[in-house]
Amino acid sequence: MDILEAIKTRRSIGKVTQEPIDKAIIEQILDAGVMAPNHRLTEPWRFFVLRGDGRKKLGDALARIAIDRVADPSSPESVTKAESAHKKAFRAPVIIAVAVSPLERHDIIELEEYGAVNAAIQNMLLTIHGLGLGAIWRSGEPCYHPIMNEAFGLRPQDKMLGFIYLGVPDMAPPQAKRSAAATKTTWID
């Protein structure tokens, strides 16, 4: 697939089948991630591939975070929220959790480490699309919760930047809704 076509046609696919994805395909996606630009070649990304029962690690963390956010952890509401959160980890046959592990050095700008990992995620999403698979990048408050760091053995300064839910598409891609670049561009000659 032409790179411009891939960029223009890639969409978040939130509904996928439970058909297994071959390990060699996942490795190809990860290899695309590590080719992202990263200042001073720090390679600040960490990938966790969750398949089968391995998805339980994410489900358990999401459930614990849901309970942590409820005023009364022993309430029926808490149990319902925890069960609902746990199920999220099983919406795709493969989840690639992607974290940033910033290098602590005086000449490294932490924000650039985040940018590198976000670029790695985009490389992975474009590769997934080019392979005819579907994916959605999920993030939000649970990613950044200390319980998530604990679940994945991350240091306090590390952050989970998202979860790529990967599978065979089970929906049509949505239409693009983007502003024209001209509306966001200032030319300075």
Strands of the sheet with 94-100, listed across from one edge: 45-51, 94-100, 159-167, 134-138
Burial class (CB in 10 A: 0-12, 13-18, 19+), 51: middle
Element of type H or E holding 25: helix 23-33
Report CA Rg, the chain. 18
The answer on whether 11 is annotated among ligand-binding residues is yes
The answer on whether 137 is annotated among ligand-binding residues is yes
The answer on whether 138 is annotated among ligand-binding residues is yes
The answer on whether 10 is annotated among ligand-binding residues is yes
Element of type H or E holding 107: none
CA distance linking residue 90 with residue 88, whole number of Å: 5
Question: Could you tell me which residues are annotated as the binding site for FMN?
Answer: 10-12, 39, 137-139
Question: Could you tell me which residues are annotated as the binding site?
Answer: 10-12, 39, 137-139
